């Protein structure tokens, strides 16, 4: 539902005759953001190029825009402008299951229409710019390639996550790779990377590159461009042949790709090419551009969609203790998880991999009585989610969705897609639509980054596409460093299924990757703060119920943090160093801050609080947390709006608070 508060529309039409176009060497169009700080210039000559500046500093130097069809026709070569239209939009969006309830949607827009029935739309926001192709043709057509360029005027530093070894199908990846922090000129020219990427500009400015409203089209990868300091888009060819394989045969591997990227309807809009621009790093912690650019909701009734938290079994290897049954993938274990969830106000339990025979979706293993688990959980007010590998679900989609919806399942965690070619993107939309018809929610694991699908289909409540806590089971990745990068980069695209909540915490020297009894890097409070800091409408508790029962204070805080909010305030931060965010649900505020492996002192400004007296339940790193990462201190203090709280974060540490009106 769109609530309109104010619309200011200025139409400027320019109609150019054919003879005038032929005589015209170059035409230039300009577009400014509402605050006039960001400027876009579009030049129409032999080609179409765009240039972007922020506060008079060039962000994107002239970069060509084009699309080539399979028949050799090039949209964007010798273009002839038929007409143009400018307008200003100032309205609001009622967000669903988001980090705020109302989004201010204010932008200026330029629409260019060309001969040959295609067009370009440009938008300028105060926080960035975007453009997209449109076509208005009667017949379907095939796209051979799209030329997307982001040229930079200097050799800036970039945070870039490379894809896999190009000796294999480079487009088949988990989208979990780490960020390389390198100059643009040193980007590996023999591979590709996935978005978002983040470019450092002068004077503390940043530019993030990604896409939005990706539908029936391949996702955009990025690679070294033709210039020394540039990036260009790369797109997976359409899958022609596939074979079953991968983990337990749950994946579909492309063995032959077409020399085209998409077959598409003749009249449509294509994905947005997005540059998010910040003047301070903390602005990236509270950016709404992808949600704004996404298509409007296609579900009329969203009252049944209830995101929340969920107990998770796989990361902790079902390692509950103190019970008189053998813990594992069985009915008794999931009843135990259900009891824990009910006792602590956790809305859901998840049956992860193993509840169904390998490669199947419509049967259960003998030790699982799914009807009994669902009935028992329902009696406790707890929802049941099921994990599924991609291929079995894709092969049995209609029957599986109908069966589990009728049984009372609340949602599905879908895993191992590991692609974003056009065929896979179509799968996301198909299952989102059909799941909504059966009132089932979805969590996409093994997925590409979000591009706004969660707005279009609000029953989609989370995405992975991030190197989450599960990797601590086998990897020595520097997680506190990664944890302080992803809120500024990956989280720009949308929610992250990072799965925090470890109760066994380790300092840098004490950490070991252990598969069956895993631990986190950094402090206990670092884990607690992630529930506030990371956007996740469907948020997991990674550890096992026994460990949570042994840590009631930490568990109570985790349980108290909502997964969607009414307001978000970015407090402070620097990419790769630290981040601090405040979020409000009704009249209660939640604050989370984390640091990398460097201890630091922060000042938390409470000016976001309305006037009045408040109590704050605070979790902070203990005095010995630098060596014993589980060490923390909980305290309750009185606070007021405008106060400054001096906060110390230990190595790999954190700080978390729940602030509510004093009684």
Q: Which residues pair with 74 in a beta bridge?
A: 68
- Computed on alpha carbons and rounded to an integer, the radius of gyration of the chain in Å comes to 25
CB 109 within 8 A of CB 68: no
CB 392 within 8 A of CB 250: yes
The one catalytic residue in 147, 347, 470, 626 is 470
For the chain, what is the total number of helices (H) and then of strands (E)? 12, 40
Residue 318 falls in which region: left (phi positive, over 0), alpha (psi -120 to 50) or beta: left
**Is 470 among the residues known to form the active site?**
yes
State whether the Cα torsion 482-276-209-61 is positive or negative. negative
Q: Which residue has the tokens 């938008």?
A: 123
Query: How many CB atoms are closer than 10 A to CB 626?
Result: 18
Enumerate the H helices of 182-261 as residue ranges: none
The one catalytic residue in 105, 352, 353, 415 is 415
* Cα distance between residue 84 and residue 114, in whole Å: 9
Quick check: bond before 163 cis, omega within 30? no
The total number of residues written for the chain in this structure? 663
| Per-position DSSP letters for 466-532, written without gaps between them | S--GGGGGT----HHHHHTTGGGTGGGTS--------SSEE-TTT----SSS--EES-HHHHHHHHH
- The tokens for 575 are 């990419």
Give 298's DSSP letter: -
**H-run or E-run covering 435:** helix 422-437
Burial class (CB in 10 A: 0-12, 13-18, 19+), 355: buried
Q: Which residue has the tokens 């926001």?
A: 125
**Is 415 among the residues known to form the active site?**
yes
Q: Which residues pair with 264 in a beta bridge?
A: 141
CB 316 within 8 A of CB 329: no
Q: Are strands 654-661 and 613-621 parallel, antiparallel or unpaired?
A: antiparallel
CB 539 within 8 A of CB 468: no
User: Is residue 616 helix, strand or coil?
Assistant: strand
Distances 224 to 132, 172, 221, 233 between C-alpha atoms, Å? 21, 19, 11, 9
Distances 268 to 19, 119, 319, 602 between C-alpha atoms, Å? 29, 10, 51, 49
**H-run or E-run covering 403:** helix 397-407
State whether the Cα torsion 339-344-347-353 is positive or negative. negative
Q: Are strands 308-311 and 348-351 parallel, antiparallel or unpaired?
A: parallel
**H-run or E-run covering 374:** helix 370-379
- The tokens for 550 are 């042994």
**H-run or E-run covering 594:** strand 588-595
* Cα distance between residue 178 and residue 147, in whole Å: 26
* Active-site amino acid positions: 415, 470
């Amino acid at each position: 539902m769109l609530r309109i508060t104010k619309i200011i529309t200025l139409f400027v039409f320019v109609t150019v005759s054919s003879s005038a176009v032929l005589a015209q060497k170059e035409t230039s169009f300009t577009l400014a953001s509402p605050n006039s700080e960001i400027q876009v210039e579009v030049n129409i000559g032999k080609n179409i190029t765009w240039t972007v500046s922020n506060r008079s500093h060039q962000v994107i130097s002239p970069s060509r825009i084009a699309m080539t069809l399979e028949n050799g026709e090039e949209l964007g070569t010798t273009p002839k402008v038929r007409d143009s239209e400018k307008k200003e939009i100032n309205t609001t969006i009622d967000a669903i299951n988001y980090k705020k309830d109302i989004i201010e949607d204010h932008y200026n827009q330029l629409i260019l229409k060309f001969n040959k029935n295609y067009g370009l739309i440009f938008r300028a926001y105060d926080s960035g710019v975007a453009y997209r192709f449109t076509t208005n043709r009667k017949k379907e057509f095939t796209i051979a390639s799209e030329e997307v360029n982001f040229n930079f005027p200097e050799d800036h530093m970039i945070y870039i996550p490379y894809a896999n070894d190009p000796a294999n199908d480079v487009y088949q990846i988990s989208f979990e790779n780490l960020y390389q922090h390198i100059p643009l000129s040193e980007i590996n020219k023999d591979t590709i990377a996935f978005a978002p990427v983040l470019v450092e500009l002068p004077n503390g400015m940043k530019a993030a590159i990604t896409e939005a409203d990706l539908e029936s089209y391949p996702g955009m990868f990025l690679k070294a461009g033709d210039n020394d300091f540039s990036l260009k888009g790369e797109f997976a060819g359409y899958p022609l042949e596939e074979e079953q394989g991968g983990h337990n045969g749950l994946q579909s591997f492309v063995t032959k790709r077409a020399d085209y990227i998409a077959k598409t309807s003749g009249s449509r809009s294509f994905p947005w090419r997005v540059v998010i621009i910040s003047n301070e790093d903390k602005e990236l912690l509270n950016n709404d551009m992808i949600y704004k650019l996404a298509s409007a909701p296609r579900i009329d009734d969203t009252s049944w969609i209830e995101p929340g938290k969920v107990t998770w079994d796989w990361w902790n290897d079902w390692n509950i203790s103190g019970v008189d049954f053998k813990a594992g993938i069985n009915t008794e274990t999931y009843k135990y998880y259900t009891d824990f969830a009910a006792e602590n106000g956790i809305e859901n339990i998840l049956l992860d991999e193993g509840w169904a025979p390998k490669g199947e979706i419509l049967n259960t293993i003998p030790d699982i009585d799914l009807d009994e688990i669902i009935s028992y959980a329902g009696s406790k007010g707890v929802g049941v989610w099921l994990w599924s590998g991609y291929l079995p679900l894709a092969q049995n989609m209609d029957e599986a969705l109908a069966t589990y919806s009728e049984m009372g399942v609340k949602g599905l965690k879908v895993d191992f897609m590991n692609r974003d070619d056009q065929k896979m993107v179509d799968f996301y939309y198909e299952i989102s639509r059909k799941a909504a018809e059966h009132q089932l929610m979805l969590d996409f694991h093994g997925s590409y980054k979000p591009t706004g699908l969660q707005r279009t289909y609000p029953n989609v409540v989370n995405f992975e596409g991030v190197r989450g806590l599960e990797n601590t089971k086998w990897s020595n990745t520097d997680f506190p460093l990664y944890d302080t990068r992803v809120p500024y980069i990956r989280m720009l695209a949308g929610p992250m299924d990072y799965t925090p909540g470890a109760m066994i915490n380790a300092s840098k020297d004490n950490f070991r990757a252990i598969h069956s009894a895993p631990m986190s890097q950094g402090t206990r409070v670092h884990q607690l703060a992630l529930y506030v800091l990371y956007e996740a409408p469907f948020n997991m508790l990674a550890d096992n119920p026994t460990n949570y029962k042994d840590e009631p204070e930490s568990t109570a805080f985790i349980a108290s943090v909502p997964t969607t909010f009414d307001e978000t305030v970015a407090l402070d931060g620097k990419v790769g160093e630290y981040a601090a965010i405040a979020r409000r649900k009704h009249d209660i505020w939640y604050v989370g801050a984390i640091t990398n492996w460097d201890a630091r002192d922060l000042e938390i400004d409470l000016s976001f609080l309305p006037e009045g007296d408040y109590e704050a339940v605070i979790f902070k790193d203990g005095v010995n947390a630098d060596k014993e990462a589980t060490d923390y201190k909980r305290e309750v203090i009185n606070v007021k709006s405008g106060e400054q709280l001096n906060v110390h974060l230990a190595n790999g540490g954190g700080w978390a608070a729940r602030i509510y009106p004093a009684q």
